[in-house]
Amino acid sequence: MDWLSRQFSTRVLSLMVVAIAINIVIGYTVQTVLKLPIYLDSIGTILVGVLAGPIAGLVTGAASNLIWQYAPGIGGGTIGPFAITAAVIGVLAGIWGYLGVYRSRPATGARLWAAAIIGVVVILFLASRIYNNPAYTDPNVGGYPAWVFTAIVVIAIVASVSVAGFILVRRDAAGAWVAVAGALTGIVAAIVSAPIAAYVFGGVTGSGTDVIVAALRQGGQDVYNASLGQGLFSDPIDKTITSFVVFIVLTSLSPRVVARFPLGERIVTDSEG
């Protein structure tokens, strides 16, 4: 029980409040205002999970979606039922935190360059699945303006340069592990989300990913497989970018601050402690 109570200390609860606000503000902007084919609504969830544990991550993720659903002004829509997916993301973040995925791994030479290349390849491969999709390249399918396709390309390039640059400048091979963990989280999130999107909303959730579902439906997929296909397009790249954002945040914090959280000792290296 002490393990569980530590995940809900005053320090963790304060972080959860901030994390929920980050999830809602950024997620609403990306999904509802810009309607991009990514989400970026799990930054706070993954941050809490990595620092505090799977249960705290679960509660943060689920609470974000439920509050978002009923919040005055931006409430409503389809985000509420996906609290299940958000909870799973939080649990996975806690597991990654427990396994020390986000722990700094100083490296030089070939090992450092290999980590940078792995991080870039993961992002470019996942992003290519979006910007090669006719929903965004063929106006007769998705009907989206050219700037949306450009935004996808820019996001992929910026993310790739940021990952490689961060790994090389800080001489930290952990970035490759973080990219892989993010991709795996995205795959699981897609699998969990598919039946919710398909059977609760008929594949139409009101976000920028709907055009991918429409394109897959036009290609002959049923609503479930179209929803799953959309998730496998969008979720892995989204969670990879999100995970790396969290990694950058963690490395920018004081090691003393990080170490005060339940899983902080699994993130701070011995030389930092």
pLDDT 10s digits, 80-96: 889 999 999 999 999 99
What single letter denotes the amino acid at residue 34?
L
CA angle 58-18-40, nearest 5°? 65
Residue partners of 187: CB distance under 8 A and separation at least 6: 232, 235, 236
63/80 Cα distance (integer angstroms): 9
Question: Quick one: how far is CA 143 from the chain centroid?
Answer: 26
Q: What is the DSSP letter of 71?
A: -
Across the range 36-48, mean pLDDT stands at 90
244/172 Cα distance (integer angstroms): 13
The pLDDT mean for the chain works out to 83
28/46 Cα distance (integer angstroms): 17
106 to 45, 117, 138, 181, 234: CA distances (angstroms): 26, 16, 44, 18, 31
CB atoms within 10 A of CB 67: 18
Q: Are 172 and 107 in contact (CB under 8 A)?
A: yes
Residue 2: pLDDT above 90? no
The continuous run of DSSP H or E covering 22 comes out as: helix 10-28
pLDDT digits (tens, 9 = 90+) for 131-160: 666 655 565 555 555 655 676 677 778 888
250/244 Cα distance (integer angstroms): 10
Q: What percent of the chain is predicted at pLDDT more than 90?
A: 43
Q: What is the DSSP letter of 69?
A: H
Which tokens go with 154? 């820019």
116/176 Cα distance (integer angstroms): 7
89 to 50, 106, 189, 202: CA distances (angstroms): 11, 27, 7, 23
89/74 Cα distance (integer angstroms): 23
The winner for highest mean pLDDT among 32-41, 147-156, 191-200, 250-259 is 250-259
pLDDT band at 48 (very low <50, low <70, confident <90, very high): very high
pLDDT band at 273 (very low <50, low <70, confident <90, very high): very low
Q: What is the DSSP letter of 142?
A: T
Residue 99: pLDDT above 90? yes
Q: Are 41 and 23 in contact (CB under 8 A)?
A: yes
Which tokens go with 243? 């995970």
Whole-prediction pTM: 0.85
* pLDDT in the model for residue 245: 92
Residue 18: pLDDT above 70? yes
